[in-house]
Structure 1
C-alpha cells in the first residue's frame, strides 16, 4: 500500500499515512487532531541495474580509423 506524506499547517508536524491510491488526495487529520493538513509532493528513488555496452576502441577494428575507411 502506498505511503503519503502530509504536513499539518496548524502545528507544523510532518507525518505519513498508508492508504490506497484511490484515496491519495483525501484529507486527513494530523496525529495531534488538527484537520488543516496538506499532502506533500514526495520524490521516489527507483534504482536498478544499468547494462552498458562497451564502446569499440581504436584497436577493435570497428568504426572509422579501424582500417575499413582507408584513413
Structure 2
C-alpha cells in the first residue's frame, strides 16, 4: 500500500499515512489530532534497467547532426 506524506497546518508536524491510492486525497488527521492538513508532493526515483542506460547524444535536430 502506498505511503503519502502530509503536513499539519496547525502545528507544522509532517507525518506519513499508508492508504489506498483512491484515498490519497481524502482528509488526514495529524497525530496530535488537528484536521487542517495538506498532502505533500513527493519526488520518487524509480530504478530499473532503463534508468541505468547511458544517455545518448543523438536524436533531435540539435543532437542528431541535422542542423547546418
RMSD: 1.2
Aligned residues: 52
Query: Normalising by the residue count of structure 2, what TM-score does the alignment of the two structures yield?
Result: 0.71
Secondary structure of 2:47 counterpart: coil
Q: Does 1:25 align with 2:25?
A: yes
Q: Distance in 2 between matches of 1:51 and 1:29?
A: 42
Following superposition, the deviation at residue 47 of structure 1 comes to: 1.5
1:1-71 aligned within 5 A = 1-49=1-49, 50-51=52-53
Query: Normalising by the residue count of structure 1, what TM-score does the alignment of the two structures yield?
Result: 0.68
**Any stretches of 5+ residues in structure 2 without a counterpart?**
55-68
Higher Cα Rg, which structure: 1
Q: Distance in 2 between matches of 1:36 and 1:48?
A: 38
Q: Distance in 1 between matches of 2:16 and 2:46?
A: 19
